[in-house]
A and B are shown apart, each in its own frame.
Chain A
Amino acid sequence: MVCSNKLHTMIVLRKEFFYFGGSMLPEELLQKVISGDRQAFGQLYEQFKSKVYNTCLAYLQQENDAEEATQDIFVEVFHAAETFRGTASVSTWIYRIAINKCLDRLRYKNRQKRFAFISSLFNIETGALMYDSPVFDHPGVKLENKEKAAVLFKAIKELTENQQTAFILKHVEGLTQKEIAAIMNIGEKAVESQLSRAKDNLRKILSDFYDNDRRGK
């Protein structure tokens, strides 16, 4: 009886902590979003905007693309809120939407590149030549690491989708293997395997980059 009273008090205190700070739990915000509460949606956006934007940035490696993707993701969150079943956390659900949107964009870009020989290489609207930016400068990376980080992001593009996802969630987003497993809907051992393969492949890719760079010099 005493224990359950303590637990009840802890939950109430936790809720009060969140309410005092002006931020509600994501699950509560999502409930309000379902009924069309735009203010609640705004708060949900504030809680998740950095996570979503950084995930998009890591996949798409262009700030404009990442912003567009973030926009699409939150619009989908708003419209799909009523489909949220609560089997995973709101954070996991939003990350899944973000990853799927990013992978869709990457696949679309790759298809465009493949058919570039029969389609124009110029942007129809602006007439400018479309090209892939060769170097990605992540705005959050420390100055002394920028050059090496740019090489790392180039290498990440060569990984498979699952390995990219596992690596980005672990090393860019800083999530635990348990969280990654929930997002990718696989076991923790499978996440470990993907991370291990990602690192091995990155080492091979980077070794090749190093050798090619030496040969070029």
Chain B
Amino acid sequence: MEQKDKNKWVDEVINSLDGAERAEPNTALFEKIARGLSEPITIGRVIPLRTVSLAAACILLLLLLNVLLLNKHSVGSDKSMQEVANYYQLTNDNPLYNL
């Protein structure tokens, strides 16, 4: 019974636009359109300043993070290079051929 009620309701909803009339736009709309014809055409969409600012802030943040990470990496790499050199006895402290 409930399924029958449901189907009936669904059918009524789908057919609810039957006999509907076309709505008319505001009578002053054409004046707005006529005014709009005289304005210069904007090619593409105007991007709000807010969006541009947000994007710029994100890029700056990413650059800053990159700079910080690079700095940290370069300090560490000097130390690690020295360790490698010592391990393979590549320093001048141990001259093999001292004639």
Q: A residues touching B (Cβ–Cβ < 8 Å)?
A: 38, 41-42, 45, 49-51, 53-54, 57, 66-67, 70-71, 74-75, 78-79, 118-119, 124, 138-142, 145, 148-149, 151-152, 155, 171-172, 199, 202-203, 206-207, 210-211
In the assembled complex, 26 residue pairs joining A and B whose CB atoms fall closer than 8 Å, in A order, are A38-B34, A41-B37, A42-B30, A49-B25, A53-B22, A54-B22, A66-B25, A70-B33, A75-B33, A75-B36, A78-B37, A138-B20, A140-B22, A141-B16, A145-B17, A145-B19, A149-B13, A149-B16, A149-B17, A151-B16, A152-B17, A172-B17, A203-B14, A206-B9, A210-B6, A210-B10
Task: Tell me the bound Cα distance from A78 to B38 in angstroms.
Answer: 11
State the Cβ distance, A105 to closest chain B Cβ, in Å.
11
Given contact pairs A71-B32, A75-B36, A148 touches B19 in the complex (Cβ within 8 A):
no
The answer to whether residues A45 and B30 also contact, given A50-B24, A75-B36, A207-B6 and a CB cut-off of 8 A, is: yes
- Within 8 Å by CB of A71, from B20, B23, B24, B33, lies B33
Pair B13/A71 contact, Cβ less than 8 Å:
no
User: B13 to chain A: which residues have CB within 8 Å?
Assistant: 148-149, 151-152, 155, 206
**Please, which residues of chain B bring their CB within 8 A of the CB of A49?**
24-25, 29-30
* B91 beta carbon closer than 8 Å to chain A: no
Asked whether any CB of chain A lies closer than 8 Å to the CB of B12, the reply is yes
Residues of A contacting B25 in the complex (Cβ-Cβ under 8 angstroms): 49-50, 53, 66-67, 70
Chain B: interface size category: 20 to 34
Q: Which of B14, B19, B34 contacts A152 (CB 8 A)?
A: B14
Closest A-B pairs by Cβ, 8 of them? A148-B16, A140-B21, A149-B16, A53-B25, A145-B16, A139-B23, A140-B23, A50-B22
